[in-house]
Structure formats: C-alpha cells, structure tokens
Amino acid sequence: MAAFGTVFMPEMAISWFDGNSWSPAEVVSSDSLQLHPGAHVLHYSSTCFEGLKAFRHQDGSINIFRMDRNIDRFTQSSELLALPAIEKTATANMIIDIVRRFKDEVPEPPGSMYIRPTHIGTEPAIGKAATPSVTSCQYILLSPVGDYFAGGDTTLRLLLEENGARCAAHMGMIKSGGNYASALRPIMKAKQEQNADQVLFCPGGDVQETGAANFLLIDGNEVITKALDESFLHGVTRDSILTIARDLGMEVQERQLTIDELLERAAKPGCEAALSGTAAVLTPVGTLIHNGQEYPVGNGGIGATTLKLRQALNDIQWGKAEDKHGWLTRI
C-alpha cells in the first residue's frame, strides 16, 4: 500500500483572494499550482492547513467527519496568521463539491478519503516580513488512504522531551507548516538515538503533545489530558474521544499533567496511554523513554480501553453506531 498521503485525486477545488474578495471556486488539476517565487508563503510561512476524512458507509453514502469543527480551526488558524478571512460556507461547499466529484474513489472502511484544505499567502512581496500577505489562495486536496493499522497493532515508543518545545508557545494551536518544520530535528534525533517513534513534548515537565497527535493517559476509569490553551493543537479526534469517554461513563480530566505524575501512573499494571489524531485515530503507547531510561505503560501492550474507545469512534465514522452528536455530514 502507498504511504499515507502520497496518492492524490487528479483534481482539487481552488479559490483565490485578490485583496477584496474570494473568486468563485473552481476545480483544477491537482498536479501543479502557479505561484510567484516571491510569494509570501514561500518566504514568511503564511500557511495553514487542515486534515479531515470522508467515510463510505454500507448504504453507499459518503460522510465527512466533523467538517464544521475542522473549518472552525482552519478559520482560526488563518486569523492567527493574519491571512485573509475564510468564508466558512464557501469552504464547506468546496469540500463537499470536490468529495462528491470523487465519491466513487472513497475507499471502503477501514480506508477513507483524507481531505487536506490548505490556505497560503500569495502576495509577491519579499519586503513584507512583518506585514501580512493581502492576497491568498485556498485549495482542497484529496488523498485516498488505507488502514493505518494494516501492519498489525503495535505500541509506540515515545521520548519525553523536557527541554525543547514542539514550536513557539503562542503558535501551538495554529495548524501551520512552520510548527512541523520546527519539530522535525528533535523527532529525527529521537528516532536515531533512542529508537523512539515519536517525541512527546513536555516543556518544563508539562506533558503536551507529539509532533502530529495529542496525548491521552487512561488510568482505570479516568482519562487525563492537557487542558486547552494556545500552546498545543486542539485535536478534533481528542475532542471526539473525550466526548465518547464521557458518554461511556468515564471521568475525563482536562488539566495539567506533569512528567512525574505520568511516570507514576504509568507504573500501574492497568494503565494505558494513546495518541489521538485524524491519521492515528487512537494509537496505543507502550513505552515512555525519559533520561535514558525506559518505562512501560501498564504492561507495555495494547490497552483494552484504548481499543474500546477507538472502536466506538470508528463505529460512528463507519455508520455502525448512532451519530448522536451530529458529527457526520452526509453528501
């Protein structure tokens, strides 16, 4: 199977902001995009994006998961990057129209169609390091993706990074390319030197998130994760899993979690940890690495509660359980 996000549908939806208004959305070839080499995004990283999925149900219908929530975050990211304002309805229509156009290509579960809205500053102005781009472009790419867990379920090894941060503290809640660039070197180093799969960024001992997913600790009936603030990405999967956990009668605690508490709780035999994200869904964490020492989470294996929560989320996404929170947009 092709690596996640490397296969694209041949066309994308696109719209341009000329400084005054957005152009009507068009469908164009997705293999190229014409930009001035001096475009603001290429120099000053005026860019944000989203990641959401459309699922095929047994009745043949196509359903987009939590589109409104992702468009809200896209709008907020654009605002915080001083990009032109997103018109939410127009963006929703672009997403729906392009997914509809390729509805026959949406894979059966456990596959899905990954949707990547992107917004970039296009103004050709290399003197504008401290001034926003007045023009921009948004486009919606589609990429059919398979089963993330196809290789069999394994648990992840996370390096707890106390000294570095994933990105600048005020940028964490913005889904912007620069944040990923900023996290790359620490992640590469952790992979090479510690055989870690991911870095769990914990600046000053405060357990935040990994490079591309949120972190949840599951201790018996309690789910513990960092409370929302501007320093990390407010995952839509995080919110969905916490909602499902509450629905199942679990006690959700959104609060500060320190490395000390994490390691103390992880030492209990029944403790579990997991990463949540649109791509990762809910991936079990088996080992924490801290100051050169390895700490299994619980028994180091795949946690039963993690699997139960993941299944409950998949069942809603795949149309096998009632969508009682209205998370699906049927197109």
Ligand X SMILES: Cc1ncc(COP(=O)(O)O)c(C=O)c1O
Residues in contact with ligand X by CB under 6 A are 51, 209, 212-214, 233, 235-238, 276-279
Torsions phi, psi of 186, nearest 5? -60, -35
In the complex, least distance from residue 28 CB atom to ligand X, rounded to whole angstroms:
26
Place of tokens 């996404």: 317
In the complex, least distance from residue 175 CB atom to ligand X, rounded to whole angstroms:
6
Nearer to ligand X among residue 155 and residue 208 (C-beta): 208
Nearer to ligand X among residue 157 and residue 238 (C-beta): 238
Place of tokens 């513990």: 224
In the complex, least distance from residue 191 CB atom to ligand X, rounded to whole angstroms:
17
Nearer to ligand X among residue 133 and residue 143 (C-beta): 143
In the complex, least distance from residue 231 CB atom to ligand X, rounded to whole angstroms:
11
Nearer to ligand X among residue 125 and residue 190 (C-beta): 190
- How far is it, in rounded angstroms, from Cα 187 to Cα 204? 18
Nearer to ligand X among residue 111 and residue 277 (C-beta): 277
Nearer to ligand X among residue 233 and residue 244 (C-beta): 233
Nearer to ligand X among residue 115 and residue 125 (C-beta): 115
Q: SS3 sequence, the chain?
A: CCCCCCCCCCEEEEEEECCCCECCCEEEECCCCCCCCCEHHHHHCCEEECCEEEEECCCCCEEEECHHHHHHHHHHHHHHCCCCCCCHHHHHHHHHHHHHHCHHHCCCCCCEEEEEEEEEECCECCCCCCCCCCCEEEEEEEEEECCCCCCCCCCEEEEEECCCCCCCHHHCCCCCHHHHHHHHHHHHHHHHHHCCCEEEECHHHECCECCCCEEEEEECCEEEECCCCCCCCCCHHHHHHHHHHHHCCCEEEECCCEHHHHHHHHCCCCCEEEEEECCCEEEEEEEEEECCEEEECCCCCCCHHHHHHHHHHHHHHCCCCCCCCCCEEEC
In the complex, least distance from residue 185 CB atom to ligand X, rounded to whole angstroms:
16
In the complex, least distance from residue 116 CB atom to ligand X, rounded to whole angstroms:
11
- How far is it, in rounded angstroms, from Cα 27 to Cα 13? 5
Nearer to ligand X among residue 157 and residue 234 (C-beta): 234
Instruction: Tell me which amino acid residue 52 is.
Output: L
In the complex, least distance from residue 239 CB atom to ligand X, rounded to whole angstroms:
8
In the complex, least distance from residue 214 CB atom to ligand X, rounded to whole angstroms:
5
In the complex, least distance from residue 233 CB atom to ligand X, rounded to whole angstroms:
4
Using the CB atoms, write b or e for 47-76: b if 16+ within 10 Å.
bbbbbbbbbbbeeeebbbbbbebbbbbbbb
Nearer to ligand X among residue 44 and residue 114 (C-beta): 114
